[in-house]
């Protein structure tokens, strides 16, 4: 067996379906920042903890690598455009969308089926990514809408592709 090249690894990783999230935080200047992330997982129930990873190439990388807290928004199958918006560099991602500052001072996007607000408790360098681990300090479950999924480099929903 030979060591696979990065394109083969990318294709292999694409065989694992993931949910799609948007992670938000506040930068050092008090500005809301956010990015789409499909690298999200639950870690522990007691204490409640989650993890997600950000690529070093992402424009917001340094902000999230240093943030003290973050919010994770799980997207529904109807929110593909919102996912694309937060994956687009160089735009004001919050302009024209419904969001508010939470009591925990995190930007929270309305109409997402679920939002977790977290204190950052640990960070780990992992190749070209940084893994952020957060302790869940707030949960807002708003609906049971089917999730937006990412598989094979494309969006999907339960039961088929979009």
The DSSP output letter for 68 is S
The answer to whether residue 119 sits within a structural domain is yes
Query: Do the Cβ atoms of 111 and 82 come closer than 8 Å?
Result: no
Quick check: bond before 53 cis, omega within 30? no
The per-residue pLDDT for 46 is 97
The per-residue pLDDT for 47 is 97
Mean pLDDT of 109-136: 94
Tell me the pLDDT tens digit for each residue of 61-83. 788 888 999 999 999 999 999 99
The answer to whether residue 1 sits within a structural domain is no
Supply the CATH number for residue 67's domain: 2.30.110.10
The answer to whether residue 128 sits within a structural domain is yes
The answer to whether residue 35 sits within a structural domain is yes
Model confidence at 158, in pLDDT bands (50, 70, 90)?
confident
Domain extent for 18: 6-161
The per-residue pLDDT for 64 is 86
Q: Could you give the CA distance from residue 118 to residue 138 in angstroms, rounded to a whole number?
A: 7
The token duo for 48 is 């409640």
The answer to whether residue 20 sits within a structural domain is yes
Long-range contacts of 34-42 (CB under 8 A, 24+ apart): 34/60, 34/86, 34/93, 34/94, 34/107, 34/109, 35/60, 35/64, 35/86, 35/87, 36/83, 36/84, 36/86, 36/87, 37/72, 38/150, 39/129, 40/72
Mean pLDDT of 19-28: 95
For the chain, the domain total comes to: 1
The token duo for 92 is 């004001």
Mean pLDDT of 103-125: 95
The per-residue pLDDT for 10 is 82
Query: Do the Cβ atoms of 90 and 59 come closer than 8 Å?
Result: yes
Mean pLDDT of 102-109: 96
Model confidence at 153, in pLDDT bands (50, 70, 90)?
confident
- When mean pLDDT is compared across 39-48, 49-58, 107-116, the lowest value belongs to 49-58
Q: How many residues comprise the chain?
A: 162
The per-residue pLDDT for 161 is 60
The per-residue pLDDT for 160 is 57
The answer to whether residue 136 sits within a structural domain is yes
The answer to whether residue 141 sits within a structural domain is yes
The answer to whether residue 115 sits within a structural domain is yes
Query: In DSSP terms, which residues pair with 28 in a beta bridge?
Result: none
């Amino acid at each position: 067996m030979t060591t696979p090249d990065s394109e083969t690894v990318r294709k292999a990783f694409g065989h694992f379906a993931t949910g799609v999230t948007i992670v938000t935080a506040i930068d050092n200047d008090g500005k809301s920042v956010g990015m789409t992330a499909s690298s999200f997982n639950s870690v522990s129930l007691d204490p409640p903890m989650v993890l997600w990873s950000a690529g070093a190439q992402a424009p917001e990388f340094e902000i999230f690598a240093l943030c003290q807290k973050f919010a994770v928004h799980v997207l529904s199958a109807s929110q593909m455009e919102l996912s694309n918006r937060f994956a687009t560099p160089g735009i004001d991602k919050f302009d024209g969308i419904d969001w508010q500052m939470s009591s925990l001072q995190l930007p929270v996007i309305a109409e997402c089926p679920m939002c977790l607000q977290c204190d950052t408790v640990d960070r780990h360098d992992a190749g070209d990514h940084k893994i952020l681990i957060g302790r869940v300090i707030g949960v807002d479950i708003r609906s049971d809408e089917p999730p937006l999924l990412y598989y094979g480099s494309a969006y999907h929903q339960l039961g088929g592709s979009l």
